[in-house]
Structure 1
């Protein structure tokens, strides 16, 4: 006798296979797009505006090692979602197309960065980045709207794309700063570009970092640690880059360190408050039983 859910599993085999293929294609394209096989490395692409010392909010080079974790998670997710339980999951049916889109958009960003002319590369990368951010926000909303069915799903689906979202929040700030610097005629590594209304570059960077910290506080309310950890990682490496290195700006470095601390403290505070409320709820339910 055929299992009642087996037909649905078979129907989802093609979308699951396409998602796995998207992951493989994205990783291959990303390898080429990052300059591993003769292309231009990202830090040297787009006239150097995407390097670790290009703007006051550029993270230090080691920050980008987070991609190793994200890519490992994407590969794990791509394999896991092929299994029957994941193929038959309504949650994964909703998540799968957005996950595949996020993989391909990352590869698209890396290819856009390969364009030699900054006037083309920077607007293109910014456009792709904004679409990618929107896709990851949609994924995050889907994960929040439906509970994970297993620990594997929480780690590979919620965890992977949560890290991805948190890092892209920081990367979007860096990409926007690079584009703005180019439009204002600043050269990569310029600590004091001419900004509108006489605004100092350090002051502008601190405002941007405060906004990033605010986004982290908002994400903390969802009680999801993955995006907070990725944001704190990126902000921490901005702090490291500005406190020591070719583009030293102590006030920006301290602001970035404070932003990272606020993001982590917000997550911890929400978790502790949630932990204190849970026993009270259980006690209330028992009292009324």
Structure 2
């Protein structure tokens, strides 16, 4: 799909995207407990805290949300501008972007209500929406550097982080349900899950020509799982080592594939 421009689209859907962005940010305040609501780590019985399961990232990992929310707000404004309102790329992307932002707010509200199992359903749907967004971005071209940073960068980070969050959310639901791991040791089972996450990250990097943003967020989350298992309430050296290796593998694969994807362009330029 090539990026083309047509007549300027109406304001209804762009404004809907803007409202969705504001709803997502409002949800963030609710989830932080800064003004109203319960902090996520204390909601839903505390099963989403940094020490709840062996696959929970350490608390500093969640600082990435500040970058993601800033990017979502920037995109909400960016897609309103006339050039983006004429863009087929953003015309296709807008409904999915709005859905991603509303689902994020819905996840926070569900967790606030204490519905842990329902939160897993919401985050899985959110992950599917973000994967769809990735395919749209893969098959359309960023119109300029600003579009690449605001659009591709934001939704790439969002996808990578939600991949980690889905893993942590799944572990929380299973833990709350009393899942024993089929008799396998906790470090072994955690390492298997982390390896699957790494494979997903590597395959994603391969399919996207080494897109850095999704890999960076995924590697960030895996690295903080490693930190959490070294310095936290659920220490596990084996899990920490596995998470660190998986984090490095995802990031290295993305960098190598990104460099490889740039070589033909460099030769053509010569």
Which TM-score band applies after superposition, normalised by the shorter structure? over 0.9
1:269 alignment partner, one of 256, 261, 270: 256
Q: Any residues of structure 2 matched to 1:183-194 within 5 Å, and which?
A: 183-184=177-178, 194=180
| Long gaps (5+) in structure 2 | none
CA distance in 2 between partners of 1:81 and 1:241 (Å): 38
Q: Which moved more, 1:146-155 or 1:93-102?
A: 146-155
- 1:220-273 residue CA offsets vs partner (Å, 9 max, x unmatched): 111211000000110010000001221110000010000000001101211232
2:83 is aligned to 85
Q: Does 1:140 align with 2:126?
A: no
1:76 is aligned to 74
1:28 is aligned to 26
Q: Conserved in 2, the CA contact under 8 Å of 1:23 and 1:75?
A: yes
Decide whether aligned partners of structure 1 residues 275 and 146 sit closer, same or farther in structure 2, where only a CA change above 3 A counts.
closer
Offset of residue 30 of structure 1: 2.9
- 1:46-93 residue CA offsets vs partner (Å, 9 max, x unmatched): 111110011101000000000000000011111111110001100100
- Secondary structure at 2:24's aligned position in 1? helix
Q: Conserved in 2, the CA contact under 8 Å of 1:34 and 1:110?
A: no
Q: Does 1:201 align with 2:186?
A: yes
1:57 is aligned to 55
CA distance in 2 between partners of 1:215 and 1:42 (Å): 26
Aligned residues: 264
CA distance in 1 between partners of 2:92 and 2:36 (Å): 38
CA distance in 1 between partners of 2:32 and 2:269 (Å): 51
Q: Conserved in 2, the CA contact under 8 Å of 1:213 and 1:262?
A: yes
TM-score (norm 2): 0.93
- 1:102-135 residue CA offsets vs partner (Å, 9 max, x unmatched): 001001001111123xxxx121100000100010
| Long gaps (5+) in structure 1 | 186-193, 284-289
Offset of residue 279 of structure 1: 4.3
2:203 is aligned to 218
CA distance in 2 between partners of 1:74 and 1:272 (Å): 27
2:154 is aligned to 160
